[in-house]
Amino acid sequence: MVDQAERKEAGGVGETIKVIVQALLLALVIRTFLFQPFSIPSGSMMPTLLVGDYLFVSKWSYGFSKYSLPLSPDLFDGRILGSEPTRGDVVVFRKPGQEDTDYIKRLIGLPGDRVQVQDGVLFINGKAVPREAAGEFTAEDGTKVPQFRETLPNGVSYITLDLNPNSTGDNTREFVVPDGHYFMMGDNRDNSLDSRFDVGYVPAENLVGKARVIFFSIENDTSPLEIWQWPSEMRPSRILTWLG
């Protein structure tokens, strides 16, 4: 009887380990090839994305590179099953030269494009991107910031913020996007380190995926694990916000 009980217990432990391993493998496959969760740590994409937003990024949108894999093993170069991103996509990518760091910005310039900002107006290939006043954005501290709606040549429209009409990023040189690279900008134009500054042109290989949907949002740097804070800190209106 003792031996039978021990075998039953061992079998139960083995079955539990098997289920855990299968669950971990399934989670690994989903994270590698389908969806990866991503949290917003800064205000560079306000008002589209706020600090405390949690979103899903689709990994298959642009195909797969070594940065799609856990720990980014150097198994191959370029992209497998790659497809071209669309101007205006909100993209998660690895920062060039600092590939252990994820960034999220809006794709503004495609390979061969000429991109420049003059007096706060975005120019693509010599043509001004339409920019219309869109009221004010109220930050969590009560500060009001002018908003503008931009509409890219392919019809993608979104809201940007203009904290300072005379900031460094409001007047730039003309950038010519090299082949196989992309030009990224934050929607919070005066508070975003992007392709105008230290990020530079982003290689296609560095793209991780396309931001799809906000699945959770909580303010004031509150951890989502602090469930008791949800009634006062959660942003219900942002949950299930579709990004593209």
Separation of first and last alpha carbons in the chain: 61
Distance CA 5, CA 16 (A): 17
Which entry of 61, 65, 68, 105 is annotated as an active-site residue? Answer: 105
CB atoms within 10 A of CB 101: 10
Three-state secondary structure call for residue 182: strand
Based on the residue annotation, tell me whether 44 is a catalytic residue of this protein: yes
Of residues 46, 40, 52, 56, the one with CA closest to residue 218: 52
Burial of 227 per CB tally in 10 Å (0-12, 13-18, 19+):
exposed
Catalytic pick from 44, 58, 195, 217?
44
Residue 105 appears among annotated catalytic residues: yes
C-alpha 187: how far from chain center: 12
Catalytic residue numbers?
44, 105
